Amino acid sequence: KPDGYTLICASNGSMLIAPLLKKSIPYDAVRDFEHVGSFAVTPNVLAVHPDVPARNVKELIEYARANRATINMSSAGVGSQSHLSGVLLMSMADFESLVVPHKGGGPSVNSVVAGQTHWTFTPAPAVMSFVKNGRVRALGHSLPRRSAMLGDIPPVADTISGYDFSGWAGLVAPKGTPRAIIDKLHAALEKTLALPEVRDGLAKQGAEEFPGSPEDFRRFLAQDQANTVRVIKAAQLQAE
C-alpha cells in the first residue's frame, strides 16, 4: 500500500508531453496519481535575432505573415517545450514558420544568436544573458501574467489572449496514497517553499515558486493536459 515514501518530481515533459508521444508510456497524469502540489514554473522566452524587424509580438506576427516563405524558427528538438511553445503561438496567431530542430536548447539558441534562424522560444536561463548583451531581442514570455524575474518583458498573452505554455514542476504520489499522507506532504512542501534559500535557488535556475493545493494542482494538470493535446495535434506529431 502506498505510504508516502515514494514520490515523483513531475514536470510537463515527463507527465504530459512524453505520454502523448510515446506509446510505451501508459500513465495519465490526471487519472493515475495522487497530487501533492506544484512548486515551480519556468517561463519560456520568445526571442528573435536583432536583424528581425520586430520590437514586439504583434510585429513578429506581421513580419512572419509577410515573409512566410523565408522565416524560420529554431527549436530544441521535436516535441520539446521550445518546439511546442512556438507551434502554439503559430496556431493561435495564424502564421507559419519553418521549424528547424536542434539537439537541445543550447544549439537552438546559438542558431538564433548566429543569425542562422530568426526566432525561438526557450527557457529563460538559456537566453537571458544574450538578451542582456543585445545578441538577441526578447519580445515576450510564456506565462499568462507579468514576471518579476523577467522585468519589462511582457507576456505573449498580452497580445495573444489565452497564450500559456511554460515549464512547471510538482510532486505526485502513487494512486491510493491516503489523503492524510498527501496533506502532510503538501504542508511540508509549502513550508519548504517559504524558505528564502529555496526561493533563491529557484530564481537562480530561472524558475518562480508556483504553490498550489492538491486540488489546484490536479485542476492545473487537467487544463495543461488539454492544452498539450491541442498543441501536439497542431504540430502534427504522432505517438511512436
pTM exceeding 0.85: yes
- The answer to whether residues 117 and 48 belong to one domain is yes
What's the average model confidence in pLDDT over 9-23? 93
- Asked, for residue 210, whether it belongs to a domain, the answer is yes
pLDDT category of residue 1 using cuts at 50, 70 and 90 = confident
Q: From CA 230, how far away is CA 238, in angstroms rounded?
A: 12
The pLDDT tens digits for 185-236 are 999 999 999 999 999 999 988 899 999 999 999 999 999 999 999 999 988 8
Residue in the structure block whose three cell numbers are 498580452: 158
Encoded amino acid at 108, one letter: S
- The answer to whether residues 87 and 12 belong to one domain is no
**Max Cα separation, the chain?**
59
- The answer to whether residues 17 and 51 belong to one domain is no
What's the average model confidence in pLDDT over 139-162? 94
Show Cβ contacts of residue 216 under 8 Å, excluding neighbours closer than 6 positions: 37, 38
Number of domains observed in the structure of the chain: 2
CATH of residue 172's domain is 3.40.190.150
CATH of residue 99's domain is 3.40.190.10
- Asked, for residue 151, whether it belongs to a domain, the answer is no
The pLDDT tens digits for 51-87 are 999 999 999 999 999 998 899 999 999 999 999 999 9
Residues 181 and 73 sit within 8 Å (Cβ to Cβ): no
Domain that holds residue 217: 8-42+166-234
- Asked, for residue 62, whether it belongs to a domain, the answer is yes
The reported pLDDT for the residue numbered 239 is 79
